[in-house]
Structure 1
Amino acid sequence: MTDLKPWLKCYPEEIPHTLTYSNEPVQNYLKNTAEKNPNKIAIHFMGKEMTYQEVYSASLKFAAYLQSLGIEKGDRVAIMLPNCPQSVISYYGILFAGGIVVQTNPLYMEREIEYQMNDSGSKMIVTLDILFPRVTKVMPKTALQHIIVTAIKDYLPFPKNLVYPYIQKKQYGFSVNVKHEGNQHLFAEILRQPQKALQEHEFDFEEDLALLQYTGGTTGFPKGVMLTHKNLVANASMCEAWLYKCKKGEEVVLGFLPFFHVYGMTTVLILSVMQGNKMVLLPKFDMETALKTIEKQRPTLFPGAPTMYIGLLNHPDLQKYDLSSIDSCISGSAPLPVEVQQKFEEVTGGKLVEGYGLTETSPVTHANFLWDRPRIKGSIGVPWPDTDAAIFSLETGEKLPAGEIGEICIKGPQVMKGYWNRPEETAQTLKDGWLLTGDLGYMDEDGYFYVVDRKKDMIIAGGFNIYPREIEEVLYEHPDVVEVVAAGVPDPYRGETVKAYVVLKEGADVSEEELDQFARKHLASYKVPRIYEFRNELPKTAVGKILRRSLVDEEKKKWQDEEQIKA
């Protein structure tokens, strides 16, 4: 086996090569933990705490209410919330009701919400009061039948719950008053009502979907990744095995990664509930609030993205805060700079290592070892238990030996069932049991993997996946834009940032500011280009296809030249 999987020779004896998975759906782990440790704190949210029994009871009540509104097994229900107690209750409540969760980014604008609701066929959505106007505008164009509205203040302690609405009104310039009637429902009112009867469902652990998590590429709009109960339970169990020095039920986990991102959902939400750990949640990653929270709540585990670690390290008042409680961090979503890793470990005294994964793999497939093994510079680490990985030739499709560059392919219980309603794209991505990642890399003799480039043109900025075509579609709607191509260019903070290369109509006079305002009306803020470059023409092939890659290469060379000058 070690000949076929050389990385197994590197495993510490504490990490098993293969795991046993209990044949239970995701929501059962909340039930199990609540029954074993009902009074254990599950959530800390801006001063408010909830026990596992309270979260479990609220989830059951929410589930029964969804069923009373007509939710049946397999129906999709969207969650459009930041990290807060309501997002946890909604997530498990939807699963207890037999539904499939559709995670939706709260930053989405109307056209993005409309697309995802229509593609998923979601019947209901849970969202914030400040997002209510945005969602109601698209409801008539979708299959949405009901909207459940909550507010951050609903789970804040006194007197924050009284003050927060005024802060929110000042920040957003408006307040929303929703009544609990018709197809509009108040989350707080639902949980005040008596428990309704809950119909229990049988679940097929391997086949039934728990989640539609949206991702995409340059060939089209975002796709719904179908993740089963087994996919999610398997990946969380692998994470548990990797963190073998952590004490089950005693860890305090920072929930700064949003749950609408699959990495935050698996490594914070599911794993914490599975182990009975305490989650410390913030609705928004604000550097100063984060530092204060770390000092006060003394977290031990901090799954994050490089931009989070970079932001904290660069805060001017960093030295004022005690971050020494942090013991273990696995960085995901984007490449982790070595200097960030070293500095963060110096500041905290904990361990920070890089991992790798995709939405299609629930998401983690590789990571470096946290303990008992030397770090390997520039590597994404080795495959997790029960995970097979290989490098395949782009030309022949054959498996390549160590040291040769090809496409990284993955096989394991965390690999998705496929793309929602996209059999052709599923067939292109899943071949003979292998998931084709679209990332180019190589494996060394010891089984450590390295990513050298992406076959896809997807942009990863600040841990968010951004799809060029989506941006281009919006900018093409501007009456003065003739041609446009969006690409990821190097950025020292975000890893990559979005740049738009634009060709305007002859005689048109459009500024960067005008295009920026136009884009912000239709795109989430993290997708909006940070840089615009106006050109007379764009590089193309003989048949007229715009050469995005040549623009990216041009930008990389410019960046490298600037770095050399600085050095």
Structure 2
Amino acid sequence: MLYSLLEKSTKNRPDTIALWSNDFSCTYFELNEKVKILSAGLLKQGLQKGDRIASYLHSSPEAIQLYFACFKIGVSVVVINPFFREFEINLLVETAQPKLFITERALYENIKKLIQPFSPIINHYYLVDFASTDGSNNLLPFLDLLNTNYTIENIGTDVDVKGDQEAVIQLTSGSTGKSKCVQTNHNQKLFNVKAFESFNFDHNDKFLVISPMNTMGALDFHILPAIQYGATICFLSTNTTNDLYIKQVPPILYEQNITYLNCISSTLRNIIKEINNFTQGIYRKNMLRYVFVGGERFPDLYYENAKKCLGMYPRELYGMTETNGPCAITADNPPKCGRFKALNETIKFRITNENWEDMPHNTSGEITIYSKTIMTGYLNDEKTTQQVIKDGWLKSGDMGYLESNGTLNIVGRIKQMVICNGCNVNLIELEETLLECDDVHEVCATSVPYMEFEKPVVFVSIHSFSSKNIAEVEQYLFSYLKKKLADYKIPLYIRILDKLPKNTNGKIDRKMLKDRALEESIQD
């Protein structure tokens, strides 16, 4: 199944560089040899088809080796982002119940206090940067799993992996609600890979992985498509500060002739800033063929600047963890924010009400998706699964409308619509209006109870924070909004912060700011 992607590329392009970073590279042949040894090593430890392994790693060769070794023997990967918080790690491990835990020293130190609750579940913790045992019965070096004496043949076990075999357990971000564990099988991931066929990738392409490898964005938008086409995966170490991390992008982009770049909106804006610094504001030709942006809306006002810097317009992709990758792409050229068409003919959209009934064209409702990539369900949560999946259709939690020609317009998350004294207020509209101000860097609009209804409130970060008079900036932003929006859309207050908090996917942590706003409203 998924391992066949690597097997095929190894057969066709054994000497092509599969993985590259500043201090590491390997060919497809070398990667596949590691994967075969590791898969045998896992079987030697007693792992069986249907078992689960937790992967809690920074971006590294071992992260990819582990993915494909598990795919080869029918073991699921429980994907733990290295920037997850304790409650997210707890949720994944307690729900998925992995038998082994693969991590590294620094990350192991982060979760030491969580180890005791996990102990009855997990047999061993393997550290990729650990040379020998420390006397502990369950703390072992990852190299123990890479014994060259291990082969599938001499262990005497060959595993037949079918398409409906579980492949990955991933966590939804929970930015607007409760985090859940998404369960996905091999077929669903393979159909996601097929969705990239229209882009004509080949072995000459180079995919730059911006997000941590242990994320949906890396696995579904980079690793699996790149391996399918025998392309090169270039990656950055995520074990560094965010500022230094982004500064690494421009040199790699130009020196390694990157052809594929995909990241969330706020990250792309920061990359463009660093590219301008790197090139001193002068356009320098790159080898990019595709620049995709997703995860957050990319407002129209940024497109021209992006084209000036990158030589092309970024194209928005729309997808979610539950769809295992993208299901829609920008409908227009030049692109317009929030307007999409299906990525291929197998993907379909409906706009439905809360009873799953279709809404007329140009009428807002919940975006409902049909795709062969849609998840198996939420692990151990059949009730919620049945609420969002019916007859192969998935309720997305996003609001939008369909034009008569099939173009999908995304308005925003359902929970980003506020009813204020009988009137609908779109928090996305409020955010994008504020982003048009030169001083504004990032915006998050949320809401709090106000009298008998809801009222929007806004958190903003601005450029050159220390040099601004905060009261004057707030007053200016209020005045600006009153010129652009109806009175009922004006927020109760605007709060200026030095920076907005981010979740583990690099997006603005809306839940944290919502909680802060509610706490402040109670105190008031």
Shorter-chain TM-score: which interval?
0.7 to 0.9
State the TM-score, normalizing by the size of structure 2: 0.76
Query: Deviation at 1:415?
Result: 0.8
The counterpart of 2:221, out of the listed 261, 267, 283, is 267
Q: CA RMSD in A?
A: 3.5
Indicate the SS of the match to 1:413: coil
The 1:45/1:218 distance shift into structure 2, 3 A limit, reads closer
1:26 aligns with 2:5: no
- 8 Å Cα contact 2:2/2:72 also seen in 1: no
1:150 aligns with 2:128: yes
The 1:196/1:283 distance shift into structure 2, 3 A limit, reads same
The 1:213/1:33 distance shift into structure 2, 3 A limit, reads same
State the TM-score, normalizing by the size of structure 1: 0.70
Alpha-carbon distance in 1 for matches of 2:460, 2:72? 42
- 8 Å Cα contact 1:255/1:264 also seen in 2: yes
1:126 aligns with 2:102: yes
- 8 Å Cα contact 1:325/1:348 also seen in 2: no
| Aligned counterpart, 2:255 | 296
The 1:111/1:401 distance shift into structure 2, 3 A limit, reads closer
1:222 aligns with 2:179: yes
Alpha-carbon distance in 2 for matches of 1:493, 1:234? 42
- 8 Å Cα contact 1:306/1:335 also seen in 2: yes
Q: Which is worse superposed, 218-227 or 428-437?
A: 218-227
The counterpart of 2:161, out of the listed 178, 189, 203, is 203
| Aligned counterpart, 2:189 | 232
- 8 Å Cα contact 1:255/1:268 also seen in 2: yes
1:35 aligns with 2:50: no
Instruction: Summarize deviations over 1:523-559 as a string: whole Å, max 9, x none.
Output: 99975947955636279xxxxxxxxxxxxxxxxxxxx
- 8 Å Cα contact 1:117/1:144 also seen in 2: no
- 8 Å Cα contact 1:356/1:380 also seen in 2: no
The aligned amino acid for 1:383 is A
Runs of 5+ unmatched residues, structure 2: 418-426, 432-443, 447-453, 464-494
Alpha-carbon distance in 2 for matches of 1:234, 1:109? 31
Alpha-carbon distance in 1 for matches of 2:309, 2:400? 32
The aligned amino acid for 1:387 is I
1:452 aligns with 2:402: no
- 8 Å Cα contact 2:35/2:68 also seen in 1: yes
Query: Deviation at 1:82?
Result: 2.1
- 8 Å Cα contact 2:42/2:145 also seen in 1: no
- 8 Å Cα contact 1:332/1:356 also seen in 2: yes
The 1:111/1:223 distance shift into structure 2, 3 A limit, reads closer
Query: Deviation at 1:268?
Result: 0.6
The 1:317/1:129 distance shift into structure 2, 3 A limit, reads same
1:379 aligns with 2:334: no
Alpha-carbon distance in 1 for matches of 2:308, 2:212? 26
Alpha-carbon distance in 2 for matches of 1:231, 1:90? 19
| Aligned counterpart, 1:535 | 520
Query: Deviation at 1:94?
Result: 1.5
| Aligned counterpart, 2:353 | 393
Instruction: Summarize deviations over 1:16-74 as a string: whole Å, max 9, x none.
Output: xxxxxxxxx11111111112211110011114211011111111111111111121111
Alpha-carbon distance in 1 for matches of 2:286, 2:505? 39
| Aligned counterpart, 2:311 | 349
- 8 Å Cα contact 1:302/1:328 also seen in 2: yes
Instruction: Summarize deviations over 1:260-311 as a string: whole Å, max 9, x none.
Output: 2212211210000000000110122612111111121110111111122100
The 1:376/1:37 distance shift into structure 2, 3 A limit, reads closer
Indicate the SS of the match to 1:317: helix
The aligned amino acid for 2:88 is E
1:403 aligns with 2:381: no
Q: Count how many residue pairs are aligned between Structure 1 and Structure 2.
A: 439
Indicate the SS of the match to 1:35: helix
| Aligned counterpart, 1:63 | 39
1:184 aligns with 2:162: no
